Amino acid sequence: MAKRPRVFVARIIPKLGLDLIQQHCDAEIWPDQLPPSPDVLLAKVADCDGLVSLLTDRIDASVMDAAPKLKVISNFAVGVNNIDIPAATERGIPIGNTPGTLTDATADTAMMLLMAASRRLVESADDAKAGRWKTWEPCGWLGQDLVGRTLGIVGMGRIGLAMAKRCHHGWGMNVLYTARSVKADAEKEVRAKRVELEELLARSDFVSLHADLNDTTRGMFNAALFAQMKKTAVFINTARGPHVDQKALADALRNGTIFAAGLDVTDPEPLPPDHELYQLRNCVIAPHIASATIATRNAMAKLCVENLLAGLRGEKLVACVNPDVEAKRRT
Ligand code: DGY
């Protein structure tokens, strides 16, 4: 890199990442808590060679066309549903992401939500704080057991398997899964059984969603799917909010079609404080914190910057979501 490349970093990421960027690049770092508006983003990327984006930044063809020198987009996330991947590939721009860095933190969050929703932790703690804890009640705040039950993983990738391991090795759960292909590692490590979605919904006590968000999975958890689940089932989503028809979920929780839900992701984010899901005592909602541990965010920052710098040098990214871009890379 003879001349220092120009880079726009769309938010303050952990210091180790920013230090590395500033060591190698002329960087503008967006200082606000909230994302730059689409217009501001267009202006900021105009003469940039590299862009560090977040899942809250919509990176579409208009952003790419506003930045004719852009050689790389490095997303500070494993999910890349905020980026128009075909548009980037068409323009010869590789996209980096951060797979593997947040597997355990996300599976821990799925587990935490599963336990909190199953054992009614948030509603009982709220009751205690509000003075509604009158005595030890034999029939109060009764929840669901975990040991020996059945876990259904929808989307058996890295995070799905990490969740399955926690449930199988920790609580002796049987594991069912759906995936496009057989997952030999899951079948070996947690004796998981691949089944059709219909069977998974009918047999699972806990349904944990870990699929990518794309045109086939958007809105997949609708009224018809919730109706196929057990009345005692607990639904967990740490993937993306738009997988779920939230009106249908609210109805299913209100009507007792399912027992409870634990969500780390919603649509939109943030979910407005007056949203009906917040009114439901059997719905636990976290503000997309699955990867929010110090070590995980540092690991994400490191990989994100490695991708950025590799892209600026014209090298292969450490983790690239559109490797077929290589044939037409921008130089
Ligand atoms: C991701 O990286 O896609 C996660 O949702 C961030 O927590």
What Rg, from alpha-carbon coordinates, does the chain have?
Answer: 22
Distance CA 96, CA 304 (A): 7
Cα atoms in the Cβ-side hemisphere of radius 13 Å centred on 263: 28
Do 186 and 161 meet the contact criterion of CB atoms below 8 Å apart? yes
pLDDT 10s digits, 13-64? 999 999 999 999 999 999 999 999 999 999 999 999 999 999 999 999 999 9
Q: Is the CB of 78 under 6 A from ligand 1?
A: yes
Given pLDDT bands bounded at 50, 70 and 90, which one contains residue 78? very high
Residue 265 has pLDDT above 80, yes or no: yes
Q: Is the CB of 173 under 6 A from ligand 1?
A: no
Mean pLDDT throughout 76-89?
A: 97
Residue 163 has pLDDT above 90, yes or no: yes
Kindly state the percentage of the chain with pLDDT values over 70. Answer: 99
Q: Where are the beta strands (DSSP E) in the chain?
A: 6-9, 26-29, 50-53, 72-75, 95-96, 150-154, 174-178, 193-194, 206-209, 234-237, 260-263, 283-285
Active site (catalytic) residues: 240, 269, 288
For a mutational test of ligand 1's pocket, the pick from 13, 52, 55, 81, i.e. the residue with the most ligand atoms closer than 8 A to its C-beta, is: 55
Residue 1 has pLDDT above 60, yes or no: no
For residue 5, what are the contacts with CB-CB under 8 A and spacing of at least 6?
24, 25, 26, 49, 50, 71, 312
pLDDT 10s digits, 192-248? 999 999 999 999 999 999 999 999 999 999 999 999 999 999 999 999 999 999 999
The residue whose two tokens read 């089944």 is 195
Q: Is the CB of 102 under 6 A from ligand 1?
A: yes
Q: What is the chain's mean pLDDT, rounded? A: 97
* Per-residue model confidence (pLDDT) at position 120: 98
Q: What is the DSSP string of 237-276?
A: E-S-GGGB-HHHHHHHHHTTSSSEEEES--SSSSPPTT-H
* Per-residue model confidence (pLDDT) at position 238: 98
Query: Distance, CA 157 to ligand 1 centroid (Å)?
Result: 14
Atom of ligand 1 nearest to the CA of 289: 7
Nearest CA to ligand 1 atom 7: 291
Distance CA 207, CA 153 (A): 6
Do 164 and 192 meet the contact criterion of CB atoms below 8 Å apart? yes
Q: Is the CB of 79 under 6 A from ligand 1?
A: yes
Q: Is the CB of 110 under 6 A from ligand 1?
A: no
Atom of ligand 1 nearest to the CA of 102: 2
Distance CA 56, CA 287 (A): 13
Please give the DSSP secondary-structure letter assigned to residue 59. B
Q: For residue 238, report the phi and psi dihedrals to the nearest 5 degrees.
A: -115, 15
Query: Distance, CA 79 to ligand 1 centroid (Å)?
Result: 6
For a mutational test of ligand 1's pocket, the pick from 102, 103, 237, 293, i.e. the residue with the most ligand atoms closer than 8 A to its C-beta, is: 102
pTM over 0.85: yes
Q: Is the CB of 50 under 6 A from ligand 1?
A: no
CA dihedral sign of residues 152, 299, 329, 11: positive
* Per-residue model confidence (pLDDT) at position 2: 63
Atom of ligand 1 nearest to the CA of 105: 7
